[in-house]
A and B are shown apart, each in its own frame.
Chain A
């Protein structure tokens, strides 16, 4: 372990870490608290965005001040998660929608189309939906 950090760097790192961990905790608590799947899938995104960004900002501040040069690698993780988390979430939501429709369970209402041709046969058509 190297020498002590200046006080402002310690405070910035501490604030970033604790707020990021609190975001992650709130987001994961939403998994327990919310009622059904389609509302629960919104909760962990809080940890995947705000939590990841602020903890990696804290890491960048800490290692940059400690090593006397800019340590930007941690931002790579935040960038990677920002790119991949929406892909996973959308994919999982499509899978859940498909399975619920197949099972005949409750699904959230679809958006109303404004064009002249209405959607024919709303019940069996979504089964070919991919």
Chain B
């Protein structure tokens, strides 16, 4: 890996770590429950992007499947939590 891609991956991972810390701060601090759910959704998407960047970093496409799974479960979790906030039950 040449220096260009090496430092690009390092910078991208740093920026994504900053993004995840911002989302984590809102997750811990958020005044209402909906703030926490929104922060969790943001955290899921940032983690998925981190997986994609790590796949480029290690030049293996295994990380792609992990990113796909995180995207899938993130959607299900956020929808279920929003449904819970709306109705008080997930499946009625």
A20-B2 contact given A44-B38, A95-B34, CB 8 Å threshold:
no
Task: List A residues at the B interface (Cβ < 8 Å).
Answer: 1-2, 4-5, 7, 10-11, 13-15, 17-18, 20-22, 24-25, 27-29, 31-32, 37, 40-41, 44, 47-48, 51-52, 55-56, 58-59, 62-63, 66, 71, 73-74, 76-77, 80-81, 84-85, 87-88, 91-92, 94-96, 98-99, 130
Contact A28 B34 (CB under 8 A): no
Contact of A1 (CB < 8 Å), options: B1, B25, B78, B83:
B1
A31-B16 contact given A37-B32, A55-B52, A92-B41, CB 8 Å threshold:
no
Contact B32 A99 (CB under 8 A): yes
Contact A47 B41 (CB under 8 A): no
How many residues of B are in contact with the other chain, CB < 8 A?
51
9 contacts between A and B (CB under 8 A): A13-B8, A40-B26, A52-B48, A58-B52, A77-B48, A80-B75, A92-B34, A95-B86, A96-B34
Once bound together, how far apart are the Cα atoms of A114 and B2, in whole Å?
61
Contact of A27 (CB < 8 Å), options: B12, B19, B53, B55:
B19
A80-B16 contact given A21-B11, A66-B59, CB 8 Å threshold:
no
